[in-house]
Amino acid sequence: MDKLPVLAIISPCYNEEEVLPSTTQRLVALLDDMVQRGQVAQESRIVYVDDGSRDRTWELIEQYTQGGKVVGVKLAGNSGHQNALMAGMQSVVDWADAQITIDADLQDDIAVIPAMVRDYAQEGCDIVYGVRRERKTDTWFKRTTAQGFYKFMHHLGVKTVYNHADFRLMSRRATRQLLNYRERNLFLRGIVPLIGYKTAMEYYDRAERTAGESKYPLSKMLNFAIDGITSFSIRPVRLVLGLGGVFMLIALVMLVYVLVSYFSGRAVSGWASMILSIWFVGGCVLVGLGIVGEYIGKIYIEVKDRPRYNIEKIIKK
Ligand code: UDP
Ligand code: MG
C-alpha cells in the first residue's frame, strides 16, 4: 500500500457528557501518534455519533469539531447503539479506507488499535475483531449472563465471535457490504461474521467504565439478547413445534389410559392431575404463541422498511 490509509474511529454517544472529555483526549492523542508514526493518513478522524442524547453531549461534540480532528454526526432521536453504529459507518464510508467502532466509555483498550490497523494495512485483513481476554471488570452477573447468552446463541447455530462486542475494524469494502444488510433488527455481532473476507483477532483486557453509568440497563440487555436470537435463528419456533408433537404423543398415551380405566370400571378421581395439566398445557401454548408472535413482530417491523435512523446534521471541518 503506497498511500497511507484514512482511518475513522467511530464512537456512539448516548448521554456521555461525563466520559467525552477524557475519551476525546485519549483518542486524539492516539490518532496524532499514529499519524506521526506514518501509520495512518493525516485525514483520519474521530467520529462521534450523538444518539439523541438529552444531556450536553452534542454541545461537547460541536466544541470538539472545532479542533478539526473530530467529526460530529447528530441523529434526530435515540435510535439505539446498533443503529448509531450503522449511521456512523454510513457517514464515513465515502472518505475512510477503514473504520473502527468503539464504545464512548473506552472500556475496550484503545492500545490495540495500532495492531488492528497493522492487520488491515499489512496483512490485508478486511475485518479485525477486538476480543476480550477475560471479563474480570464486569460484574459477576453481567459476565455469567453474557457468556451464557453466547453459548446459547452458539447452540442455536448463530456464528458469533466469543467475547467480542462491537470493538472492531472494518475495511471500506467490508463496511459497504455490511451496509447492504438492510434489516431493521440489527445484531451486528451476528451479521459481521456472515460477510466473510479475511479476518483477524486482537486480544485485550476490558477496563472499567471511566465515568458515567452503563447505558445498558438489564431491560435493554434482555431486549438486545432476544433480538439477537430471533433475528438469526428460527430454531425456537421449531422447538415449539417439537414440543407440540411430544404433547400430542403424551395425550395419546393418556387416551389409552383413560379408556382402559373406563372399561375396567375404576373410578376417576384425578382432579388434581387434571387441573395441573390444564395449567401446564395452557402455559405451553402461551409460550409457543409468544415465540411465534415474536417472529411475526419482527416481520411486521421489517416489512414497514422504515429508515433505521435520521441524521440531523454532520459537522466535518
Ligand atoms: N449507546 C448508544 N445508544 C443507546 C445506548 C448506548 O449510542 O441507546 C452507546 C453508549 O453511549 C456507549 C455504547 O453505546 O458508547 C455502549 O454503552 P455502554 O458502555 O453503556 O454499555 P455497556 O458497556 O455497559 O454494555
Ligand atoms: Mg461500556
**CB of residue 78 inside a 6 A radius of ligand 1:** yes
**CB of residue 104 inside a 6 A radius of ligand 1:** yes
Please report the atom of ligand 1 found closest to the CA of residue 107: 23
Please report the atom of ligand 1 found closest to the CA of residue 80: 8
CA of 75 to the centre of ligand 1 (A): 15
Of 55, 75, 78, 81, best ligand 1 pocket probe by most atoms within 8 Å of the beta carbon: 81
Render pLDDT for 80-135 as a digit per residue (tens, 0 to 9): 999 999 999 999 999 999 999 999 998 899 999 999 999 999 999 999 999 988 76
Q: What is the reported pTM?
A: 0.81
Render pLDDT for 44-61 as a digit per residue (tens, 0 to 9): 999 999 999 999 999 999
7-13 and 164-171: which strand pairing?
A: unpaired
What's the rounded mean pLDDT across residues 191-210?
Answer: 88
34, 46, 120, 171, 287 from 7: Cα distances, Å: 10, 8, 11, 9, 47
Residue with the three cell numbers 460541536: 62
What's the rounded mean pLDDT across residues 287-309?
Answer: 87
CA of 72 to the centre of ligand 1 (A): 17
| Helix runs in the chain, H state only | 20-36, 57-65, 81-92, 113-121, 140-155, 172-179, 188-195, 218-230, 235-263, 271-304
Identify the pLDDT of residue 272: 66
Residue with the three cell numbers 470538539: 64
**CB of residue 206 inside a 6 A radius of ligand 1:** no
Please give the share of the chain, as a percent, with pLDDT higher than 90. Answer: 50
Q: How far apart are CA 173 and CA 125, in angstroms?
A: 11
**Can you read off the three cell numbers belonging to residue 162?**
466469543
Identify the pLDDT of residue 103: 94
